[in-house]
Structure 1
Amino acid sequence: MAEAIFYRSDGNPGEKVKLPDQLFSAEIKEAVVHQYVKTYLRNQRQGTHSTKTRAEVSGGGSKPWRQKGTGRARAGSNTSPIWVGGGVTFGPRPRDHRSSLLKKMKRAALKSAFTDKSNQGKIAVVEVPILEQPQTRVMAEFLGKLNLLDKKVLLLVEGRDENLFKSCNNIKNLRYKRAMLANCYDVLNAEYLLISPPALESLREVYSE
């Protein structure tokens, strides 16, 4: 059974916490993870890349010079793709890059990512400091006590806390996210994963089947 160290809000370690096997001791499916990451990154693309064809660029109209007698190569339009400033042949056009994955595949990818982090010993359960107002210093000191201030950290919490969100948002390598919105890419992209007890319980309930 997978375990993680529990850290209090003052940064002091407590007893180890058992992690749900269905999430943190699952089979690692590399092919599914690979497919998920490719799909996720593809869906981040705006798809607004565009070039102008010879019909869209400025110019055209009359023939640049007569067909014969100049000694120059014949030309019919200054919008030709072989001219500087002319149109582009087979250039990129706006398109939708979105693709989808089955729900089972998304879940399998997330479980694989969680299990990989657990196997590396890079998961901790933390009691998140309670903030009455945004205080970046408090969160920075908390991470410092865990020796994670210069590491890429993903903090998973149960619900949105505006004060906590603003405090985390000011720290370069710390990302705050609700546990139910976590995905495989987020987990893999972080060096360390911090989970609050309520968030861990929510994950346990949702992924219990």
Structure 2
Amino acid sequence: MKVAVLDIKGKETGRKVDLSDTVFAIEPNNHAIYLDVKQYLAHQRQGTHKAKERGEIAGSTRKIKKQKGTGTARAGSIKSPIFRGGGRIFGPRPKDYTQKLNKNLKRLARKSALSLKTKENSVMVVEDFDFDTPKTKDFVQILKSLGLENKKSLIVLGDSNNGVYLSSRNLERSEVVTNTELSTYKILNANNIVLLEGSLEGIETNLNK
């Protein structure tokens, strides 16, 4: 699949790159996408929620009143869940929410997501760029030129680039990742995917293993 390469002003450079059909033009597997996104969201949960139960509350263990003759229900401990300050019944406990998926399924999910975005004409290839000093204003100007100013965008770099990353960090609707950080969730969460030329080889190598 041939795609025109744009410059940072949004104009065609006259060059074209060949996007691999095995990555950008497969039949999407919706179930693989579902499983990968489900795993990603599950891994965002810390699982540190905890409430003290009856056995963990500090308090006296003496019987607080006699068994009979009070006219009220019997009660044996101040730590009972029915009293203020008592333990919580079936409260939340720390839990590990991590899920395991095999690598082939995760690759299939990412290829399916990229193929969906390509089919929607939401993927563009832009020549590599850099900033001498990080500057959000310059990054916003590039987004304007590409028609992405008010859209959720995902910019994929070939290698880590501190200048580009720092320039985009304050922008809520734009995210910069390297080709190794690409995930199914991030692909689907963006309206447009901007692939820098230097990222293509890494993406195709990683997803065609």
Q: Aligned to 1:58, what secondary structure does the other structure show?
A: coil
Q: Secondary structure at the match of 1:177?
A: strand
SS of residue paired to 2:45 = coil
Q: Specify the alignment match of 1:179 in structure 2.
A: 179
Q: What is the alpha-carbon distance in structure 2 between the residues aligned to residue 4 and residue 44 of structure 1?
A: 35
Shift of 1:111: 0.3
CA contact (8 A) 2:9 2:146 kept: no
Equivalence for 2:116:
116
Q: How far apart, CA to CA, are the structure 2 residues paired with 1:26 and 1:58? A: 60
Residue matched to 2:92? 92
The answer (yes or no) to whether the contact 1:4–1:123 under 8 Å persists in 2 is: no
- Structure 1 window deviating more from structure 2 (145-154 vs 55-64): it is 55-64
Distance 1:67 1:191 in 2: 67
Given that residues 129 and 139 in structure 1 are in contact (C-alpha distance below 8 angstroms), is that contact kept between their aligned partners in structure 2? Answer: no
Partner of 1:73: 73
Aligned to 1:10: 9
CA contact (8 A) 2:8 2:145 kept: no
> Identity of paired residues, percent?
35
1:64 Cα deviation after fit: 2.2
Question: CA separation in 2, counterparts of 1:73 and 1:138?
Answer: 72
Q: Distance in 2 between matches of 1:96 and 1:182?
A: 24
Question: Partner of 1:47 in structure 2?
Answer: 47
Task: For residue 6 of structure 1, report the CA deviation from its aligned partner.
Answer: 2.5
Whole-angstrom distance in 1 between the partners of 2:104 and 2:49: 32
CA–CA distance in structure 2, aligned partners of residues 208 and 98 of structure 1: 25
* CA displacement at 1:5 relative to structure 2: 4.2
Q: Distance in 2 between matches of 1:207 and 1:43?
A: 22
Following the alignment from structure 1 to structure 2, what is the Cα–Cα distance between the partners of residues 17 and 179?
17
- Go from structure 1 to structure 2 and tell me whether the alpha carbon gap of 1:119 and 1:187 turns closer, same or farther (over 3 Å shift): same
8 A Cα contact 1:33 1:184, kept in partner: yes
2:123 aligned partner, one-letter code: I
- 1:142 is displaced (CA, Å) by 0.6
Give the TM-score normalised by the residue count of structure 1.
0.92
- Paired with 1:26 and 1:125, the residues of 2 have a C-alpha distance of 19
* Equivalent residue number for residue 126 of structure 2: 126
Cα contact 1:37–1:184 (8 A) shared by 2: yes
CA distance in structure 1 between the aligned counterparts of 2:81 and 2:155, rounded to whole angstroms: 51
Distance 1:33 1:207 in 2: 14
Partner of 2:138: 138
3-state DSSP of counterpart to 1:94: coil
**What are structure 1's unaligned runs of at least 5 residues?**
none
2:143 is paired with a residue whose SS is: helix
**Paired residue secondary structure (1:55):** helix
- Give TM-score, length-normalised by structure 2: 0.92
User: What's the RMSD between the two structures over aligned residues?
Assistant: 1.7
Structure 2, gaps ≥5 residues long: none
After superposition, give the CA deviation of every residue in 1:99-125 in whole Å (9 maximum; x if it has no partner). 211110000000000001001110111
Indicate the residue corresponding to 1:63 in structure 2: 63
- Residues 171-203 of structure 1: CA deviation (Å, up to 9, x unaligned): 221101001221111111111100001101222
Q: Name the SS for the 1:36 alignment partner.
A: helix
CA displacement at 1:4 relative to structure 2: 4.0
